Structure 1
Amino acid sequence: MATQETQVAEVDAFTAEWQQWHSQQEARLADRHGFLAITNLHWLTETPQRFTDAPGTWSTGVDGVVVTLDEGEELVIDGTPVRGRYEFGPIAERDGVNAVWDDAVIEVARRGGNDIVRPRHPNNQLRTDFRGTPAFAPDPKWVVTGRYVRFEQPRPTTVGASVEGLEHVYDAPGQVEFEIDGQPLRLTAFPGKNPGDLSVLFTDTTSGVTTYAANRVVQVPTPAADGAVVLDFNRAVNLPCAYTDRATCPLPPAENRLPIAVEAGEKIPYERQG
């Protein structure tokens, strides 16, 4: 049986590991060209438009996004300077291209069937004023072992978005089943950032109270051969829409609202309080 000193040491190590992870999470969020640097969300149409925070005149059509740069304007795409007219071509859903303009990055992307331009400027006030994200104290009780149940075929799943009227479609490969305090629970999972990993969007009874109302997400490592998975709700994080209205984040599937209070992970950002 573990001694009290051993238990304290294990909790201290668990807390230190979480703090290191959370610091890295916040550093990614506050990157010079991260989501906090976005100055606007421009929806492209066939009608050419100029924007105050990006060079050129922008439009889109059946052949994809086109920018026409005026004399003296330049973008750098994949390391190559571009002047005059440039055709990005069709961009796949949830894909994008980053074009460099001086110290800014002009993101050209496709979200919910729409082509968008999102300039990212390091001096954006949301980024320069960023002071971190409040979170619950890490607690080993919120590291939950579960079982991954794979669907026979991935299920196309349509979810809403943080932008009204926008929808996202994901191929859900399966569900994660687990228990908390003896209560059986289940969450639909989407593909994760790395092959085999899972991404789980959810809300719970803290949503809109102490945690962000629309969504949080937990990344789940690749399930074991027998389907065993670990969900660490201490690492439940906000999506970019928790900080900025210029994100197009997906909402959780309807079945992913947990009927319990998950008092773990990130809370409502300071930027959304009050």
Structure 2
Amino acid sequence: MTRTLSRFDGKIALVTGGTSGMGLATARRLLAEGAQVVITGRDQARLDAAVADLAGGDRVLAVRGDVGNLADLDALTEAIRERHGRLDLVFANAGIASFHPVEQVTEAEFDRVVDINFKGLFFTVQKTVPLLADHASVVINASWTLHRGMPGASLYAATKAAVHNLARTFAAELGHRGIRVNSVSPGYITTPMFHEVLQPHEHAAVAAKVVIGRLGTAEDVADVVAFLGSDEASYVNGQDLAIDGGLVATISGHSG
């Protein structure tokens, strides 16, 4: 693996939901910059495929687990403690999509989405706090939908607004140790989850909503997470950074 930078030499990073999309791209970027990386995923086959794709050798530790299961999180933190003894960066990325009209959201769906997107993220951070080195960084994956109302996104967007709020409150709570906590709000990013929600014939219309006229990539997100996790962002704390091509802040002139 060829490195172009070395911002993470000697650093230990955790990426939850690291088997595909933004998580996998971020793990790859951090490896390229010198980090030793721990990735998680619920499916062992996908986890094995991600390890093979990353080709990081003993610099990659893969731990199967569900962030919504506290016993799995305990096993994850114990595996990190035994292997590395600390963490310098956590990308709390694991999450699921759910888009339904409000009248169609069932209690079971509510519990499922909150269990992973909110509860899982809360306890991911809680369980890893004892492992965080002073001046470590935590980056939480939120969503552009916390900034703008979108039909069918009430449940999903509410969980993402909640985790951005956690970024601010965790930043306040952990600041005495120099630990920074920020969130990122990706826009339309072409990940497997994106393709599950939107059909190919819908992509052009969605891209037309973005002022720069294109969909984002997982690598676009990885670039920003790496920046926030590095010393270059040492004075950025409690913030949300939109990675959306201007989707939230501007009105596009493109036609779909």
Higher relative contact order (Cα pairs below 8 Å, separated by 6+ residues): 2
TM interval, shorter chain, is under 0.3
* TM score, norm. by length of structure 2: 0.23
Q: Which has the higher strand share?
A: 1
Structure possessing the higher radius of gyration over alpha carbons: 1
